[in-house]
Structure 1
Amino acid sequence: DIPVFKKDVNGNASEAALLKFTETIFAGIGAFRQKHIKLTEIPFNSTEKYQVSVHEFNSSDGYFIVEMKGAPERILDRCSTIIIQGLSVELTPTLKLEFEEAYLEMGGMGERVLGFADLLLPMSKYPISYEFSADPPNFPLENLRFLGLISLIDPPRAAVPDAVAKCRSAGVRVIMVTGDHPITAKAIARSVGIITTPTAEDIAKQRGVTVLDIDSRQATAIVVHGGELREMKAEELDAVIYYHNEIVFARTSPQQKLIIVEACQRRGEIVAVTGDGVNDSPALKRADIGVAMGISGSDVSKQAADMILLDDNFASIVVGIEEGRIIFDNLKKSIAYTLTSNLPEIVPFLFFVIFDIPLALGTIAILCIDIGTDMLPAISLAYEKAESDIMARMPRDPFEDRLVNKKLILMAYLQIGVIQTVACFFTFFAIMAEHGFPPSRLKGIREDWDSKKCRRP
């Protein structure tokens, strides 16, 4: 038999962790499910942030039980009692304060915290023949009994901190958008390097004042709650993005992800956004580059995206950025190399026509140069390795720094092209002089030079 914690589980990571945890308590989870059959369910959604199901219970106090799990603060708001040492007691302000302290302690360690509640339905109102419906729900969702908290450790991949650091050095701004609690989101953001400076809350704590006494612009890092984002005007959100370099949006919905993308684009930013759910599709479509998750992503999100991340790894996006820069760099090298030979090939024909001198570079010679010495080296430049500073440069301006721009043309024609032309003509005149034709004699002899009468029999 395979140990519980080594079994492979397909599906959501949080659900998989909960399943393995319950397997350690209930030896036969399948038998437990058969005993308490699920009758109806309200799936988790990003708006309500909880999931509810009704199960058979068959006790002396009732036939059915309502089970709820989700964001702890949302669950607690729907509870009127709490279970302590097996007894249900009233949920007092003191107990709520203890809940808040425990929640903040676990969230501050970067752990994902879930709250749980239940309610045994009285058999007088819900007889054994009662038919449940989830849309709309015909069972209570208030006055539940709070059961407790479970915290899950979902550590970022080992490569993420290095990937975030590379993004920072490359001038790529990483904004974290998550459904986690702000405390959890902030702890995770700090662990991977998305937040490296104090937030307004941190500054207020250091100075022993309230957050209201601190100008939010004094802090370059900020954590924005989805509720605050909902109340913000477009100008206020623009100010948040403008004045803060390190931003985390917590307890957000997929719809708010679209608002964040649009706010970044209003500042002229090129935006890449990741998503895996159906509700992420609008943001994926709106972004300049939509990146869907290849493993956990839905089919709808994959269709809406421009790119699919096969391994669901953020570090792979950074590798893609680096490869893209290498390709762009090498294409510019290849184009510049190809353009430099144009001037030394054209000028001999101009001299041939204008100054009536012999043609320094014939048609066959040009073909040999273009096919033999231009094509293969130009192709080989596409396989050049990255420059040492490839990920230390700022992102290029798509409207100014094009593949072929004024700077590249001037360098190819007026710098390298002129040098090649001068070198070629110096060689031409030197060889002609060695054979008795100094430059002064070359002018005006084109017809005689090409005449068949002047050739040896």
Structure 2
Amino acid sequence: SDKTGTLTKDEMTLRRLWVAGEELAVTGAGYEPRGIFQRDGQDVAPGDSVRELLRAGVLASDAHLVREEAAWRIQGDPTEGALVVAAAKAGIDKLALDRELPRSGEIPFTSEAKRMTTLHQTPGGIVAFAKGAPEVLLGSCTRWRTADGGEAELDEAGRVAIQGAARAMAEQALRVLALATRTGAAPDNAESDLVFLGLAGMIDPPRPEVREALRTCGRAGIKVVMITGDHPLTARAIARELGILQGGRAVTGAELEAMSDADLEREVEGIEVYARVAPAHKLRVVTALQKKGHSVAMTGDGVNDAPALKKADIGIAMGLTGTDVTKEAADMTLTDDNFASIVAAVEEGRGVFDNIKKYLMFLLSSNIGEIGLMAGASLFGMPIPLSAVQILWVNLATDGLPALALAVDPPEPGLMRRPPRDPHRGIFTRPVVTLMLVGGLWSTLVNLGLFAWALQSGRTLEEAMTLAFVSLVLIQFFKAYNYRSDRASALRRPFANKWLNLAIIWELLLLGLILYVPFLRTAFGTTHLPLADGLLVVALAASVAPVLELAKWMERRGWFGAMD
């Protein structure tokens, strides 16, 4: 999963500034341009060096701060928005600054370059402002801003100090940007011989619901790997906070480049965090995981993410920030860009698959019972036990409504505690087929035996057919409740499906009308059912419940093969 906006809120807030060897804290939350600057816990006014740093961040950004319906929000990239908001806290207005120093050129950000540079017209000539990853931008700097506002040569000691400050920020789960400038700039030299201005550390807080969603993934046998363009230390800190990094490795894009495909395939299962990666790396990660036999879901929002999403078993595009190309390449679109919604979708998908299985188990088991009854009677030379109208009624009404109710059955408790099912196994696994056959064959035995007993005991054919018809209908109802799960007892939450309860009640009312309303008795060829016969039929029909319970008990102990 991508980190920004999926695992986190995508609401960057600048928290730390490092300028000329000093660190300042910035207060405030969200995008409201209200906050104070502090040094060692004491409120301070932002000095010239701090204001220059913030001006550079604003000029090298395309985001804008707008107020809509009493709320502040950012138009553009949230990282750039954090710089614009921090500058506003220091009294620097982006619109006014853009008018004062109009942009005359730009070297845009790319995931490979990890930097962005803009050129601006000033009374003294063209000035370049750059922002980017500290390890990238620092290599282009030859001087740095001093505490008195001057410049000094950036020697090795200065570089070590800057790298240490960036590392300290990253270890606090802050995304760190470096900012630099150059006077007398031109498009061909704007990214060299820069003056280092300072560091900005910002935080994108994790979504509060993500931690529980990640724990749910762990219980469900789903491994979550975080992919981010952040500094490795920032990535590790956030991954530890979320519970993603639990003893596995964190690797960078540079380390991935150094790995062969065979090396990556060998080590990919032990990697939990990828930092400073490019979109092309995602494709390699997906391919390596698939070669290890894993089903892979990959999130993405940029155009360059499309190949990885296309390659993944489930490509997931971001609905809010994703490009049209990404959405076209993806299998599903996440409308709120929230990782917790992916977990909810997994649970929903598992529930839908389970319900398809319940629906088919019930219908096919019912059909086996009906076919077995008719075929058995013919095989043993008995009269036909059901009339054409009765067969139609059983197929259309008795089987139909309960089957539809099972299709919308609530998810079973513990659904997200099961390991993922084998994608190569279909619905009709050995345990499912066994339960289906047990229910169908028991129905055949009970109904055929009851019909034969009725004929042998001197009942008329019409009475024997009525007993068989009622028994068949009732046994389907008992099976419907048993097939609400292919593993759990029917006694657990037996009436949790209100639609099934309503379907059974409605069918019982209709059955009563068929038995006791004269013109319906004539139409269906049934007779009045005495109380004693009714109790006998109910008892025999109910016998399918303990039989299926026994089959489930044996299934849970692996008698019929591995469960899904």
In the alignment, does 2:292 pair up with 1:267?
yes
Residue by residue over 1:284-319, the C-alpha shift from the partner in whole angstroms, topping out at 9 and shown as x without a partner, is 111111111111111211111111111010110000
Contact between 1:160 and 1:314, CA under 8 Å: does it hold in 2?
A: yes
**Which stretch shifts more, 228-237 or 347-356?**
347-356
In the alignment, does 2:60 pair up with 1:33?
no
TM-score between both structures, scaled by the size of structure 2 = 0.68
In the alignment, does 2:341 pair up with 1:291?
no
- Which residue of the partner structure matches residue 434 of structure 1? 457
Residues matched between the structures, number? 394
Give the Cα–Cα distance (whole angstroms) in 1 for the partners of residues 446 and 381 of structure 2. 20
Match among 206, 210, 218 for residue 168 of structure 1: 218
TM-score between both structures, scaled by the size of structure 1 = 0.83
Quote the offset at 1:144 in angstroms: 0.6
Quote the offset at 1:427 in angstroms: 2.2
Give the Cα–Cα distance (whole angstroms) in 1 for the partners of residues 110 and 183 of structure 2. 24
Q: 1:394-409 maps to which residues of 2 (within 5 A)?
A: 394-400=419-425, 402-409=426-433
Give the Cα–Cα distance (whole angstroms) in 2 for the partners of residues 300 and 38 of structure 1. 30
SS at match of 1:53: strand
Give the Cα–Cα distance (whole angstroms) in 1 for the partners of residues 335 and 198 of structure 2. 37
Q: Which residue identity does 2:102 align to in structure 1?
A: I
SS at match of 2:74: coil
Match among 336, 342, 363 for residue 317 of structure 1: 342
- Which residue of the partner structure matches residue 279 of structure 2? 254
Contact between 2:117 and 2:190, CA under 8 Å: does it hold in 1?
A: no
- Which residue of the partner structure matches residue 152 of structure 1? 202
Contact between 1:110 and 1:153, CA under 8 Å: does it hold in 2?
A: yes
Residue by residue over 1:181-225, the C-alpha shift from the partner in whole angstroms, topping out at 9 and shown as x without a partner, is 10000001111111123xxxxxxxxxxxxxxxxxxxxxxx00001
- Which residue of the partner structure matches residue 266 of structure 2? 239
Contact between 1:106 and 1:113, CA under 8 Å: does it hold in 2?
A: yes
SS at match of 2:105: strand
Contact between 1:345 and 1:361, CA under 8 Å: does it hold in 2?
A: no
Match among 257, 261, 268 for residue 230 of structure 1: 257
Pair 1:358–1:69, CA change in 2 (3 A) = same
Residue by residue over 1:417-438, the C-alpha shift from the partner in whole angstroms, topping out at 9 and shown as x without a partner, is 1111122123223332332589
Give the Cα–Cα distance (whole angstroms) in 2 for the partners of residues 367 and 158 of structure 1. 54
SS at match of 1:98: helix
Match among 108, 113, 116 for residue 43 of structure 1: 108
Q: Which residue identity does 1:31 align to in structure 2?
A: A
SS at match of 2:385: coil
Residue by residue over 1:9-30, the C-alpha shift from the partner in whole angstroms, topping out at 9 and shown as x without a partner, is 1221111111111112244321
Contact between 2:283 and 2:308, CA under 8 Å: does it hold in 1?
A: yes
SS at match of 1:429: helix
Match among 378, 398, 410 for residue 434 of structure 2: 410
Q: Which residue identity does 2:136 align to in structure 1?
A: R
Contact between 1:289 and 1:306, CA under 8 Å: does it hold in 2?
A: yes
Contact between 2:300 and 2:309, CA under 8 Å: does it hold in 1?
A: yes
Q: Which residue identity does 1:106 align to in structure 2?
A: M
SS at match of 1:341: helix
In the alignment, does 2:239 pair up with 1:194?
no
Quote the offset at 1:274 in angstroms: 0.5
Q: Which residue identity does 1:434 align to in structure 2?
A: S
Pair 1:437–1:27, CA change in 2 (3 A) = closer
Q: 1:4-153 maps to which residues of 2 (within 5 A)?
A: 4=33, 6-59=71-124, 63-85=125-147, 86-121=149-184, 137-153=187-203
Contact between 1:348 and 1:359, CA under 8 Å: does it hold in 2?
A: no
Contact between 1:179 and 1:253, CA under 8 Å: does it hold in 2?
A: yes
Contact between 2:87 and 2:93, CA under 8 Å: does it hold in 1?
A: no
Give the Cα–Cα distance (whole angstroms) in 2 for the partners of residues 182 and 426 of structure 1. 72
Give the Cα–Cα distance (whole angstroms) in 1 for the partners of residues 164 and 436 of structure 2. 66
Pair 1:140–1:351, CA change in 2 (3 A) = closer
Quote the offset at 1:350 in angstroms: 2.3
Give the Cα–Cα distance (whole angstroms) in 2 for the partners of residues 149 and 139 of structure 1. 22
Give the Cα–Cα distance (whole angstroms) in 2 for the partners of residues 275 and 419 of structure 1. 52
Quote the offset at 1:276 in angstroms: 0.6
Give the Cα–Cα distance (whole angstroms) in 2 for the partners of residues 366 and 229 of structure 1. 65
**Which stretch shifts more, 100-109 or 424-433?**
424-433
In the alignment, does 2:381 pair up with 1:331?
no
Give the Cα–Cα distance (whole angstroms) in 2 for the partners of residues 380 and 10 of structure 1. 47
In the alignment, does 2:448 pair up with 1:385?
no
Residue by residue over 1:45-66, the C-alpha shift from the partner in whole angstroms, topping out at 9 and shown as x without a partner, is 000100011111223xxx1111
Q: CA RMSD in A?
A: 1.8
Give the Cα–Cα distance (whole angstroms) in 2 for the partners of residues 179 and 406 of structure 1. 46
SS at match of 1:7: strand
Quote the offset at 1:226 in angstroms: 0.6
Contact between 2:82 and 2:202, CA under 8 Å: does it hold in 1?
A: yes
- Which residue of the partner structure matches residue 447 of structure 2? 424
Give the Cα–Cα distance (whole angstroms) in 1 for the partners of residues 274 and 32 of structure 2. 38
Residue by residue over 1:109-165, the C-alpha shift from the partner in whole angstroms, topping out at 9 and shown as x without a partner, is 1111100011111xxxx7xxxxx6xxxx42342121100000111011111111111
Residue by residue over 1:388-433, the C-alpha shift from the partner in whole angstroms, topping out at 9 and shown as x without a partner, is 1110111111112x123343223212x1111111221232233323
- Which residue of the partner structure matches residue 207 of structure 1? none
Quote the offset at 1:247 in angstroms: 1.1
Give the Cα–Cα distance (whole angstroms) in 2 for the partners of residues 31 and 351 of structure 1. 90
Residue by residue over 1:321-370, the C-alpha shift from the partner in whole angstroms, topping out at 9 and shown as x without a partner, is 00000000011001000011122211233233332111123322221111
Contact between 1:223 and 1:249, CA under 8 Å: does it hold in 2?
A: yes
Give the Cα–Cα distance (whole angstroms) in 2 for the partners of residues 50 and 405 of structure 1. 54
Structure 1: gaps of 5 or more residues: 127-131, 198-220, 439-457
Residue by residue over 1:70-128, the C-alpha shift from the partner in whole angstroms, topping out at 9 and shown as x without a partner, is 1011011110111111121111111111112211111011111100011111xxxx7xx
Give the Cα–Cα distance (whole angstroms) in 1 for the partners of residues 260 and 93 of structure 2. 52
Match among 372, 392, 400 for residue 397 of structure 2: 372
SS at match of 2:373: helix
SS at match of 1:183: helix
Give the Cα–Cα distance (whole angstroms) in 1 for the partners of residues 152 and 399 of structure 2. 85
Residue by residue over 1:236-293, the C-alpha shift from the partner in whole angstroms, topping out at 9 and shown as x without a partner, is 1112123x1x510100001111111111111121111111111111111111111111
Contact between 2:373 and 2:447, CA under 8 Å: does it hold in 1?
A: no
Pair 1:24–1:294, CA change in 2 (3 A) = same
- Which residue of the partner structure matches residue 447 of structure 1? none
